[in-house]
Structures are given as C-alpha cells and as structure tokens.
Amino acid sequence: MSTTSTPGAIPPVETTIAGLRSHLDAARASGSTIALVPTMGSLHDGHLALVERATELAQTVVVSIFVNPLQFGPSEDFERYPRDLDADRDALTGQGVAAVFAPAADEMYPNGPSQTRVTAGAVGSMFEGRSRPGHFDGVLTVVAKLLGIAQPDLVIFGQKDAQQVFLVQRMVRDLDIRSRVEVVETVRADDGLALSSRNRFLDERHRRAARAIPDALEAAQSAADRGIDAVLAAAQGVLMGADDVELDYFSVVRTDTFQPVDDDHRGPARALVAARVGDTRLIDTELLHLG
C-alpha cells in the first residue's frame, strides 16, 4: 500500500500542532487514510514493527516522538530516558513514514502540566499503576491529546505494554473516539527478551539475568492447561531462582476486564510480569489459554 512519503526519504519533522494538522489535513483532502504510531523515541525494531503494520493499513503514517512528563513520577527516570531525535529520524528513513511529530513539552502543555486529565479508573491503579501512581492518567491524557491533534483513522500500539493497551482501548470506546486501535504482538530479541528502550541500560550480566522474565512466561504457558495454580507455581519457580532479578509482580488477568482470574477460570487470560534487573525495571506479557 502506498504512502504519501517518498521511498528512501528522511521523514520531515513537525514540531508544532498547527504544522502537523496542516500536513495531515492535506493528506486527508487527497483521500489518504492516516495511521498514528505514538512513541517516546529511542526507537528500536519493536517500534519499527509498529510502523510496518501502520504502512500496511494506511496511506499516511505519522510517528509521534514525545517523552511525556505527565506519566513519570517524581522518583522515576524522566531525565534519564534516552532522547536522540536524529537517530530516531534515521531509523525511520525509508520506512514509509510521512511525518514525525516531535513537539516540545511547552507545545503540548503550554500552560504547564494540563489541569484536565483522563483518569484510568480502578484498573489504572493496579499492577503498573500500583508501582507508578498516576502513570496511566498521564498516558491516557497524552494519547487523548495526540488523537485529538492527529485525528487518525487508526492508532498502533505494541502488546508488550498490555495494561496500557487495555486502557487505551477502553478509553477509545468510552469516549467514542473514532480512531481504531491496532495492536501488534511483542517483538523479541534472539534471547527472548522483549524489545524495550530500557534494555540499553542492561550490562552483560544483567542482560543474562533478564532472560528469567521471558523464561517465566514460557513456563507459565507450558503449565496453562493445568490451571492457574500451576501457572503461578511454574512462573514463580523461574523468577524466584533468578539472581539479580527482583520481582515486582506476576499475575494472570482476564482479557476482558484486566482483573485477576478466578481459581476456576478457563479460557483466554493474560500473564503479566514486572521485575527490576539491576537498576532497570522491565515488563512483559504473554497470552495464555487456561485449561
């Protein structure tokens, strides 16, 4: 499917809301469908898989690169989060991207942190939300702003951030936003580790230790036909025996409510794991079918 970008071209960067809207209004007037890929930059092959899917589904693809301060707590790594717009733009060269939207914080929040927020509700205070209070309110607020700015036909997310995906999908339904949410399966490195911008903080020792996370999910999947107790025992057996891995949570939730499954649950469910490996916090997920 063709795009409005020139093959092999470095995508132009729009830094203002007005500039992006003008760009997309022209694309829309020509009959193009529009896909948005929201990112915080530090792009890797996982992000490029989202872009590839976007180019399969829409003629005009825009990638947003914005490290959103609203989703970082006071003790989190906002300042440490990697930023390299030139490298990100290079990574997107030849990928069929029509524009990169890279606003400064004062473009997105001209009067400081926005006083109007989208709240994530009870699910937003569980799992990642318990470890990072207010995180998902910040995520949903910036995603709602990006959808309002770009008004895309579809928006692309990666499944690795499973709780974020669930909450964005629910927000789109609850607020009658016309954009369709497309989810791309987790992209993994050769050693099984889910691709993440934070992986670069792992030294060789901690990279080896982090293998316990996908190994635990694999063990959970192998035990799924024996029910939830077997799943939890299998996963925790891997994680508890791993050096340099500090488990935050391992849980299995219903796919329709994101609530922990009952003991007698049968059918699809999603395993969630978060752990700190050295100084780096990693998350991962896998779809299970409990027997």
Active site residues: 47
- Write the Ramachandran bin of 155: left for phi over 0, alpha for psi from -120 to 50, otherwise beta: beta
Contact 65/146 with Cβ under 8 angstroms? no
Question: How far apart (Å, rounded) are the C-alpha atoms in residues 61 and 35?
Answer: 5
Question: How far apart (Å, rounded) are the C-alpha atoms in residues 96 and 22?
Answer: 19
DSSP 211-253: THHHHHHHHHHHHGGG-HHHHHHHHHHHHHT-TTEEEEEEEEE
Instruction: Pick the closest to residue 162 from 185, 133, 130 (CA basis).
Output: 185
Contact 260/177 with Cβ under 8 angstroms? no
CB neighbour class for 184 (10 Å; exposed up to 12, middle 13-18, buried from 19): buried
Instruction: Pick the closest to residue 164 from 78, 31, 38 (CA basis).
Output: 38
Find the helix packing angle between 135-150 and 162-174, rounded to 10°.
50
> In 10 A of CB 291, how many CB atoms?
11
Q: What angle do CA 239, 78, 120 make, to 5 degrees?
A: 75
Question: How far apart (Å, rounded) are the C-alpha atoms in residues 238 and 164?
Answer: 26
